Amino acid sequence: MSHSNAAALTSLVDEDGGQLIAKWFPIVSIWALGLLCFSLPGRLSPEGVSSVDLIAVGKLGARALIVLVAAWILIQRKLDFRAGAPIWAMTPLLFWLGWSVLSVFWSPLLIVSVGQVCGMAAILLLAAVIGCGPASALPNFVSHTLWMLFAASLATLLLHLVNPELSGLDRALDIPGSDGFVHPTAAGATASLGLVLGVLARFVWPRNFTSWAASSTFVVHFAVLILASSRSAFAAGAVVCVAIAIWSIEPRKLGWPLLLLGAGILGYMLLDPGFRETREILSLGIGYMQRGQTVTQLKDFSGRLEMWEAVGAEFSKSPWIGHGYFCTSAEGKLFVWNSWSNPTAHNILLQLLATGGIVGTLLFLWGMCRAFGKALLDVVLAPDNLTYQPMIAFLLFWYLIWTFGCVSFIGPIRPESVVFALILGIAIHPYVRESDGGEQESKREHLPARLAAYGMQASE
C-alpha cells in the first residue's frame, strides 16, 4: 500500500470521530461471517494440507482478511488499555485468544487448529471494532445482524423447498460427510436466535419494529425451526421468548390476558371433557420431539453422554494445557458414535477444558466476567437506566441454555458466532458501560429510533 493510500485510509478512520470505516467494516463482516459458513453434501472437513479444498481456502481467506483489517482499524484508533476502556474490558478474552493461538503448536491437527483459531480471532476482533466504534452505529449493527439471520433462514428454507436432500434439514436422510449445505442443528440455532431477537425488538422497542418485519421474520424462522427438528434450539428459543414477554409486560396489564386464558381453558374443558383432542396433540408433539429415538437414547441426551465420557477421558491426558484449539483428543481422532473423527465435545465447558486445558478455561471465564459483568449488573442494580443491557442479558441466557449441549460460538463459525460478536462488542462499548445513572438516562432518552431492529420507522 502506497503512502498516499495509507494516508487516505487513515483519514477515513479519523474523520467524523473515526467513523466511516468503523461503521461499514462491522456491517460487511457481519454478512461475510454469517453467510460464508455453508458446506456441500458429502464434503468432509479438512484434517491436513492434502484435504484442503477451495471452500476451506475461501473461508480462511475471508476470515484472515477480517482479522487484518480489524487489527489495522484498532491500531489506527490508538488502543486504550486503561481501566474502563473497551479494550481493557476485552483483555482477558484477548489473553485467551493468545493462549489458543499458542496451543496450535501442540495440536495434532495443525491445519484444523489454525483455521478455527483464525475464525475465533475474526469474531473477537470484530467485537473489539464494534466496542471501539461510534455509538451512533450500534443500531445499524443490530439491524444488519437481524437481517443476516433472516437471510440465512430464508435461504435454507427456499433450498429445502427446492431440494430437501441438499438443504440438510431432513434428518431422515443419511448423507455421508456433511448433512447438506447447512447442518440442521446450526439451522435451528440460527432460527432460534432470529426469533429471540425479533421478540426482543417487538416487546422491548415495539414502536420501532413494524408489524410486517415481525410477521415475515417470525414465519420464516419458525418454519426452519420446525423443519430442523432441533429440540435444544426449540427449547432455548421458547424459554427465552417467554422470559422476554414476562419481563416486558407490566404487571397491571396482565389481568385481561390471564382472564382470557382462564376463560379459554374453561371453555375447552366444557367442549372436550375427556381431553381426547389434547391427548392426540400431545402424542403428535411427543413423536416430533422424539425424532424416532428410544427412551434410552433420549436419556443419553442423543448420544451426548457417550461423547462427554470420551472427551472427558481425553481431557485427563492433558488437563492443564489441553490438546490444542478445536482438538478434543491427544491423537486428533476419537472413536465415538461408531466412527473415528475429531468431534466437538457438545458442551462448551468440556470443549474449553479438552482443547485449552484448565489454563485456557480460566482465561475464558475471566474474560466473560470482565466483558459482560457490568451489563448484567446494570439489569439488576439499575433497571430504570437501561439501553442495550436487556438484549445482552436475554441473549446470554439463550447461550447459557444452548451451550449445555453444543459448543456454539467457540466452534465452527456460524451465524450464532456473529451474534455473540455483536453482543460482546456492545457490552464493552462505553455507551453501555457508562456508570453515571444520569448520563445513562439521558442516553436512553436519545436512543436512536432504529435501535435493535430492522424494518423500523423513524420515531424521533
Q: Name the residue type at position 155.
A: A
Q: Which residues have a Cβ under 8 Å from the Cβ of 242 and sit 6 or more positions away? A: none
- Integer Cα distance of 29 and 412 in angstroms: 16
Query: For residues 88 and 433, is the Cβ–Cβ distance under 8 A?
Result: no
Cell triple for 211: 408489524
Give the three-class secondary structure for 45: coil
pLDDT in tens, the chain (460 residues): 444 443 433 333 444 444 667 788 999 999 999 988 877 666 666 665 656 667 778 888 899 999 999 998 888 876 666 655 788 899 999 999 999 999 999 999 998 899 899 999 999 999 999 998 888 888 889 889 988 999 999 999 998 888 877 777 766 554 444 456 788 888 999 999 999 988 887 766 544 555 566 677 889 999 999 888 888 888 899 999 888 888 877 655 555 566 666 666 666 556 655 556 555 655 555 555 545 545 454 444 555 788 888 899 999 999 999 999 999 999 988 888 777 878 888 899 999 999 999 999 999 999 999 999 999 998 888 777 778 888 999 999 999 999 988 878 888 899 999 999 999 999 999 888 774 443 444 444 434 333 333 333 333 3
pLDDT for position 324: 94
Domain ranges of the chain: 13-142+306-445
| DSSP state string for 268-312 | HHHH-TT-HHHHHHHHHHHHHHHTT--HHHHHTTTTHHHHHHHHH
Q: Is 414 helix (H, G, I), strand (E, B) or coil?
A: coil
Three-state secondary-structure class, residue 335? strand
| Residue 43 DSSP one-character state | P
What pLDDT does residue 384 have?
A: 73
The conformation of residue 44, written as its DSSP 8-state character, comes to: P
Kindly give, in sequence order, each residue whose CB lies less than 8 Å from that of residue 216, ignoring residues fewer than 6 positions away.
150
448 torsion bin: left (phi>0), alpha (psi -120 to 50), beta (else): beta
CB 208 within 8 A of CB 454: no
- φ, ψ (nearest 5 deg) of residue 173: -85, 140
At 335, phi and psi to the nearest 5? -90, 105
For residue 107, which of 356, 341, 336, 344 has the smallest C-alpha distance? Answer: 356
